[in-house]
Amino acid sequence: MRQLLLSTLLLATGFAWAQPANDNPCSAISLTVGASCSFSSYTNAAATASAGVPAPGCASYSGGDVWFSVVVPANGQVIIDMNTGVITDSGLGLYTGTCGSLTLLSCDDDSSPNGNMSYLAATGLTPGSTLFIRVWEYGNNNNGTFSICASSPTPMGNDDPCSATLLTVGATCSYTAGTTVGSTNSAGVPAPGCASYSGPDVWFRFVVPASGSVQIDSQTGTTTDSGMALYTGACGSLTLVSCDDDSSPNGAMSLINASGLTAGSTVYIRMWDYGGGTGTFSICVAQAQPCGISGPTAGTNDYCPTPATLTQGPGTFSASTDVTFSSDQPGNVSSVFCGSIENNSWYQFTATATTASFPITYVGGCVSGFGIQAHVYSVTYTGGCCTGFTSVSNCYNPGNTTLGTVTATGLTIGNQYLLMIDGNSGDGCEFTISGWSGTGILPVELVGFKGISTDLGNHLTWMTLSEKNNKLFEIKHSLDGINYSTVGTIDGAGTTTVDQYYEFVHETAPKGINYYRIDQLDLDGRINPTEVISVNRTEALGQIAVVYPNPTKHAAVIEYISEFQDEVMVTVCDQSGNTVFTQVFQLKEGPNQLNLPSEEWSKGVYSITTKTDAIVLRKKLIKVM
């Protein structure tokens, strides 16, 4: 291989790479702290381990580090970001003190939006003090060039309640991009009392709709664990209404359901990173759904007043206990159920006999392996809302994926009943019930929406686990995270239970941050938007673009961007270091899809290594059952 021949020649001639000038803390290269990130390229080739410095404790540090320094600006905040070069997986440590006596402040592996590179934001620093930055390559086995920047943005415009950003209350959730980068703590406002609030924070506001009920949801960016608080009153005299840590289905992000608000009044939202720090996120406010239930998925079987319809007869229907379903617990339903309710969905049927059976013939693809639980009820309604529940069946709740039957007895022919299905302990599973057909079921299970910059444009990929009446996908693009336009459409697969993979290249995407969402369109005209993602438009040849879906329950794909025709060796190891897969793939110039048989692997975290003559890269894949 070219790399091996070059190394052999260098050794034979007695050549050795010179150690970088910033190989130790006292020779650290000074970085200028700008108002925004401006990357500069450096290298850690031939760097050694720095002795006498506290170990960073993350990103598999084993030497090969180089050092930088910054002078903390007047606002006491510094953001360090990294971008790829030869190095595509970095480690980053921040230290305070003098170059001969350092104290570790924080450490990061791969929080940067630039692949597996590192990102750290430090606040509350002493203005004028010097901060030392330690950089290394994950595992110390692929050293070389990288880029780094230091910035300290000016405070956000919505840094206090009286400059809060106005959000539109939509019929469904439409995320708006936000950031706490450059923000400060808000003084004189009642403490939120949850999510380890210590600031800094930013503020949003909205006008309460006529129903007086809303749902406020948040989505990850570089912030992956948020806090959210709701306040009423004037911006200079606020009263705390509620506070939330991680109720959102979007990981450890925040969600608040609020009802009984005064129509036409202005309500304020406070957002922060759990425990302090700064980062990007997205936020939305959705109108209330029927019966005061707040949420962005009206028209699906997520809520008791809007069930799917089942018809008894030959055939089957398949659905899932999707982990994004809300916990809908109207009336006394929780007290007449045999388990706890986390992500239930609803199915309505009309009795054609005094007995109705629901044979559960398949349960699989579960995230946690706990399976599903189900119960049939006679329901009373007040004003069209579910208010009272009486059990008319056994409660199916095996605690695993064991199959069984839910049998309802004592039914009145012609009356309507509800079948409630929930994921045991919130598990997300696929299931099939025989002898029934269904309409109004969540049409598309879309997962793994990701994007990365390539030389051809911004490359977007996603996957569906099943589809029902899926007409097409509209790819929406925005430069500000607020105003979106359609940049492409891709036909859906109609109705299928087979995994489908999709990709789209936005060839005309401008440099810088681009925001994307996908609007999935049903044959009946219903539009279901996805989460919003951001892609930083840069050149990115010769590296893995993305591994998706990740986590995965089935097969996975490596999206590999190659600068020229080549071949790559792909090796996958489990957590014990055992090789579970190895194969040589032929690469064409541009994007390549390398299929991994991960459906055969057991649950766990896997390390993926790709090796060509010129470069070795690594990614991680999480397999769930």
What confidence tens digit (pLDDT) does each residue in 258-285 have? 777 888 899 999 999 987 877 888 899 9
Q: What mean pLDDT is predicted for residues 107-134?
A: 86
For residue 244, the domain's CATH number is 2.60.120.510
Largest Cα–Cα distance in the chain? 93
Is the predicted pLDDT of residue 324 greater than 80, yes or no? no
Same domain, 133 and 207: no
The pLDDT of residue 4 is 37
Q: Which is it for the CA torsion 30, 33, 39, 44, positive or negative?
A: positive
* Domain containing residue 199: 161-292
Query: Within a domain: residue 207?
Result: yes
27 three-class SS: helix
Going by pLDDT thresholds of 50, 70 and 90, the confidence category of residue 156 is low
What proportion of the chain, given as a percentage, has pLDDT over 70? 88
Going by pLDDT thresholds of 50, 70 and 90, the confidence category of residue 41 is very high
Same domain, 273 and 316: no
Same domain, 200 and 314: no
For residue 141, the domain's CATH number is 2.60.120.380
Same domain, 256 and 328: no
Query: Within a domain: residue 460?
Result: no
Going by pLDDT thresholds of 50, 70 and 90, the confidence category of residue 609 is confident
How would you class 212 by CB atoms within 10 Å of its CB: exposed for 0-12, middle for 13-18, buried for 19 or more?
A: middle
Structure tokens that stand for 451 in this block = 């994007």
For residue 578, the domain's CATH number is 2.60.40.2550
Which of 267, 203, 190, 255 minimizes the C-alpha distance to 227?
255
Same domain, 264 and 379: no
Q: In what order do the strands lie in the sheet with 226-234?
A: 165-166, 201-207, 266-273, 226-234, 237-244
Q: What is the mean pLDDT of the chain?
A: 83
Q: E strand or H helix at 3, and its extent?
A: helix 2-12
In eight-state DSSP terms, residue 455 is: T
Same domain, 435 and 414: yes
Q: Which of 391, 421, 439 is the C-terminal boundary of a domain?
A: 439
Same domain, 146 and 190: no
Is the predicted pLDDT of residue 147 greater than 90, yes or no? yes
Is the predicted pLDDT of residue 542 greater than 70, yes or no? no
Contact by Cβ (8 Å): 581, 572: yes
Going by pLDDT thresholds of 50, 70 and 90, the confidence category of residue 383 is low
Query: Within a domain: residue 83?
Result: yes
Same domain, 147 and 197: no
How far, in Å, CA of 102 to CA of 132, rounded?
Answer: 8
Query: Within a domain: residue 455?
Result: no
Same domain, 189 and 135: no
Q: Which of 439, 456, 474 is the C-terminal boundary of a domain?
A: 439
Going by pLDDT thresholds of 50, 70 and 90, the confidence category of residue 10 is very low
pLDDT tens per residue across span 21-31: 999 999 999 99
Q: Residue 157: left if φ>0, alpha if ψ -120 to 50, beta else—which one?
A: alpha
The pLDDT of residue 565 is 84
Q: What mean pLDDT is predicted for residues 584-588?
A: 89
Q: Which of 95, 120, 151 is the C-terminal boundary of a domain?
A: 151
Same domain, 270 and 313: no
Query: Within a domain: residue 434?
Result: yes
Same domain, 169 and 272: yes
The pLDDT of residue 3 is 38
Q: In what order do the strands lie in the sheet with 356-364?
A: 385-391, 372-382, 416-423, 345-350, 308-320, 430-439, 356-364, 404-408
Q: What mean pLDDT is predicted for residues 539-553?
A: 64
Same domain, 147 and 188: no
For residue 412, the domain's CATH number is 2.60.120
How far, in Å, CA of 599 to CA of 625, rounded?
Answer: 9
Q: Which residue, chain included where needed, has tokens 């809303």? A: 214
Is the predicted pLDDT of residue 412 greater than 90, yes or no? yes
Q: Of the ranges 30-44, 92-106, 191-205, 439-453, which one carries the lowest mean pLDDT score?
A: 439-453
CA atoms within 13 A on the CB side of 250: 26
Going by pLDDT thresholds of 50, 70 and 90, the confidence category of residue 323 is low
Number of domains in the chain: 4
Contact by Cβ (8 Å): 363, 434: no
Residues contacting residue 459 through CB under 8 Å, at least 6 positions apart: 451, 452, 453, 503, 504, 505, 545, 546, 559, 561, 591
143 three-class SS: coil
Query: Within a domain: residue 504?
Result: no
